[in-house]
Every structure is written in C-alpha cells, then in structure tokens.
Amino acid sequence: MPAMSNQERKLWNEKIETLSRDAVRALQLEKLRKQVAYNYEHSPVYRKKFDDVGAAPEDIKSFEDFARIPVMTKDEHRRTQEESLERYGNPYALLACAPKEKIIRINSTSGTTGMPTLYTLTRHDVDVVNEMHARKYWRAGIRPGDVMLQALSLSMFTGGLPLSQGIMHMGACVVPVGVEGGTKRVLDFVRLTSPTAIIATPSFGQYLMEKCPEVTGRQARDLGIRWFFCAGEPGGGNPEVRKMLAEGFHAKVFDHTGGGHAFHGISCDEPPEQFSGMHFVSEDHCLLELVDPHTKEGIALQDGAVGEMVFTFLDWEGGPFMRYALGDLLEIYDRPCACGMPGIRFKIIGRADDMLIVKGVNVYPEAVRSAILRFAPKVTGFFRILLDKPGPLVKPPLKIRLEYGPGIAEKDLASLEAEVLSYFRQEVRIGPSLEWVPPETFPRETKKTKYIQIRET
Ligand SMILES: [Zn+2]
C-alpha cells in the first residue's frame, strides 16, 4: 500500500496502474489460472461448468482455453441463488468459495426485479474494493482534505457503504448523506459541509441543479463544487449530459463505475464535450471479456467493439464470479488516450435488457436522452419511452412522452417538435411520435431512472 504522505503523486498505485498491456495480460493469466483452480475446488457450481465441457482447471493455459467455459447468465445466476436458498438457507452458499468465518461483508445489487445479486466478501476482497475506489478518485485529483458528498442510494448496494469505505480508505472525507432523505436534505448537507465533490446519478444531479436556488438561495454553480462524479446511469459518458452538469455545477465531470465490486473504471480529466471512455483501473482483479448479447459468442476487445460484458474476478476469495454476464453493454476503446495512461477504456452503453429494436435499428434509452437533451433549455430532458408490450421489438413509431422547458408556450410546440423530429431522423435513425407534457410532470427520481414504461393493458 503506497504511503499516504505524498499528496503530489499522480496515481494511487503507480506500479500497477502504469503496467504495459503485455504485462497486464501476463499478470491476469497467472492470476486466472490460480483463480479457476480455487473456484473449482470450492464451489460445486463452478466445478460443474468445467465438467460440462470436459475440462479441468489445469487445462486453462490461455485466455482462449478459458473462453470454452460457458458463461453464467443473470437468469442462471438467479436460479442458482434460489436453489442455494432452498438447500442451505441462504442464496450464496453454492457460489461462495471461502469458509463462513472468513466472510465479513455481504452486499447486493439494488435489485429492481426478482432476487438481488448477493456478493460475499472476505477481508482481502474488501481491501481490493477499497483500493479500486482509491485508484479512481486519486486519478481524478481528489486528495485528503477534499470532502465528497455521496448522494447515491446508500445501504448495501455497491455505490453505498462499500463506496463510503473506499473514500475513507484513501484519506478523503466522505459525507454519506444518501438520496433516501430527498433533495432538500442533500442540499442542506451541501450547505453544512461545503463539499468539493458530489457523487450522484446524472439525473439526480440535474434535479439538484433545478432545486438548488429554492433550497439554498444560491445557484448550483456557486456552491464551490469542483468535481461531479457520475455513477449508476450511463449519462456520464454522454456529451450533452456532461455539458449540462459541468455548466450547472461549474465543475469537472467524471464518469465512473464500480460494477459488481470488481469492475472499476473512471474517465479522464477532459472537457465535457469530449469523452474518451473510462479507463479500466481494476484489470489486475478483473478479467473482462465481451460477448454477443444474444448468442454469447466472444467478441475481440478492440477499438469500437460493442458487446455484453462478461467478467471474472481475479485474486478474489469470497464469491469470485467466473464468466458472469451481468447484462451491461460496453463499447471498447483501445487507441492510446490523450492523457497518456495505458490500458483499455470503455463506455457503458446501457443494459442489454433495455435495448429496443425499431424497424431494425437498435435504440438505447440513453441515446434517446442524449438526443432530447440537445434541445435544452427548450426541453427539461425528462422523458419516458412508452411501450405497449415489453421489448426489444417495438412496433413503430416509438412513442416518447417528454417535458417541454419552463420558458416554452404551447404555441411554440409545433416548431419545436419539427426540430426534434428532424434530429431524431438524422441522428438516431428513427421517427418517433412525441407527446408533450409540462415541466415537472415526471417525478424527479432519487434512484436510477426507469426511462421505459410499459403500458398497462
Ligand atoms: Zn485518458
């Protein structure tokens, strides 16, 4: 662990974070071979994965060998947790690889539908997670003395308590106010603690900007916030969203993620209208692969590749996921980054489940949001996609209900609509039908916003 005294050093873990691509891959392969042997020995679920393809851990000599092991889908994972609950009285017994007395924390996903994914961590695993949070914030320029207001959903999901611990680990000060208490409470604590950084979903950030003058008597840009860290939604990689937050808070905007505890990335210090992807900072503890979301066939990790992420925990004890398809779609960047840091980068495009297909065109809610936000402040940016039945196939036209901006009169709507539609046809390659509603029609969500609404039949 690096000494805390040197405030000037650029990276938290200089040795690991500056490794060349070849050195990272060699380290990953070495750790992978140990990890698969460990998983095989300690979990019947992983043992069966090997047995099903007639392989043994010692057969894994390359990444290609490893790609023969079938992926674990979200559904399969859920079924495994249910079976575990039935047989052992908890959902993780079949997947945890460490003895019970070594497990010191159980976390979960926010779990919007069905059983949440449970993560079991040992002391070693908690240390790894803390280290990854420290790497991200240190790169962004956070140092001891900075105050970080954590305005994500707290409790046990990955952006909750584990994130608070990571911030403390690097020596910065966390204010874990959480979004559960509502906007006023978050803004009250901004007033009381003068944070230099805010961590929130982009949509909650937008809501804070709207409500700030009313609650604090000041504009959000006058609060002294220097960093806005986006999490929980893909918007932090979207130039329109980044510009809105950068201008609204007069802050640098970073996108970052800590998906599944092992998959960590952060964008670099760059202007909001630019986005070069998030640098993958946890490659020594997470092997990333990309697969086709439907066939689960492998896709090479090269510049511009898009696919569903599959991850394998490396050097992990508690519940080391192996070839787990979490359902996030990524785009890969492997050309050198202007910031000079090595390694691959990625952008989270959205959930594989949220992808819609309209007349053969793949449409993600985030792309719809991006297109709408181009017209701010004539629109608020809040919208819903209305479906008659669950996707991905949508009978055209795609129906979008959206708020016009506070300064817009009803008589202006026809010309605004023509502008918006023309942009959608050119840039998103669909011709949606728009339904306009007044500002503040939609609730300002404190958690992840669900942009897709299925109509009751
Ligand atoms: Zn960079």
**Which one, of 434, 438, 443, 442, lies nearest residue 404 by Cα?**
438
Alpha-carbon span 54 to 48, nearest angstrom: 9
Alpha-carbon span 163 to 160, nearest angstrom: 5
Q: How many CB atoms lie within 10 A of CB 409?
A: 7
Which is it for strands 197-200 and 227-230: parallel, antiparallel or unpaired? parallel
- Tens digit of each residue's pLDDT (9 = 90 or more) over 324-375: 997 889 999 999 999 999 999 999 888 888 888 898 888 888 889 889 988 9
- Cα of 277 from ligand 1 centre, angstroms: 8
Alpha-carbon span 381 to 88, nearest angstrom: 47
What does DSSP assign to residue 134? Answer: H
- Cα of 289 from ligand 1 centre, angstroms: 21
Q: Which two tokens stand for residue 153?
A: 């959903």
- Tens digit of each residue's pLDDT (9 = 90 or more) over 99-125: 999 999 998 876 556 788 889 999 999
Q: Which two tokens stand for residue 120?
A: 């079991």
- Cα of 67 from ligand 1 centre, angstroms: 29
Residue 443 has a pLDDT of: 85
Residue 1 has a pLDDT of: 52
The residues placing their C-beta within 5 Å of ligand 1, an ion, are: 268, 337, 339
Q: Which two tokens stand for residue 136?
A: 């991200």
Q: Which residues contact 418 (CB under 8 A, 6 or more apart)?
A: none
Longest dimension (CA), the chain: 71
CA distances from 283 to 56, 84, 280 (A): 24, 30, 6
Q: Vertex 234, ends 229 and 237: CA angle to 5°? A: 65
- Cα of 18 from ligand 1 centre, angstroms: 12
Each as own residue / partner, the long-range contacts of residues 214-222 (CB below 8 Å, 24 or more positions apart, any chain) are: 215/183, 215/184, 215/187, 215/188, 216/187, 216/190, 216/191, 220/248, 220/249, 220/250, 221/247, 221/248, 221/249, 221/250, 222/250
- Cα of 268 from ligand 1 centre, angstroms: 5
- Cα of 336 from ligand 1 centre, angstroms: 8
Q: Vertex 422, ends 361 and 373: CA angle to 5°? A: 85
Token pair 């680990």: residue: 169
Alpha-carbon span 150 to 163, nearest angstrom: 8
- Cα of 264 from ligand 1 centre, angstroms: 14
Q: Which two tokens stand for residue 272?
A: 């909001």
For the four alpha carbons of 378, 384, 387 and 393, in that order, the dihedral sign comes to positive
Which is it for strands 345-351 and 356-358: parallel, antiparallel or unpaired? unpaired
- Cα of 342 from ligand 1 centre, angstroms: 8
Q: How many CB atoms lie within 10 A of CB 144?
A: 11
For the four alpha carbons of 139, 448, 161 and 210, in that order, the dihedral sign comes to positive
Residue 155 has a pLDDT of: 76
Residue 370 has a pLDDT of: 84
- Cα of 111 from ligand 1 centre, angstroms: 32
Compute mean pLDDT per 10 residues along the chain, 457 residues long, and list them: 65 96 97 98 96 96 96 91 94 94 88 77 97 97 97 85 95 95 92 96 92 93 97 87 95 93 94 95 97 87 92 96 91 94 92 85 85 91 92 91 93 95 92 95 76 79
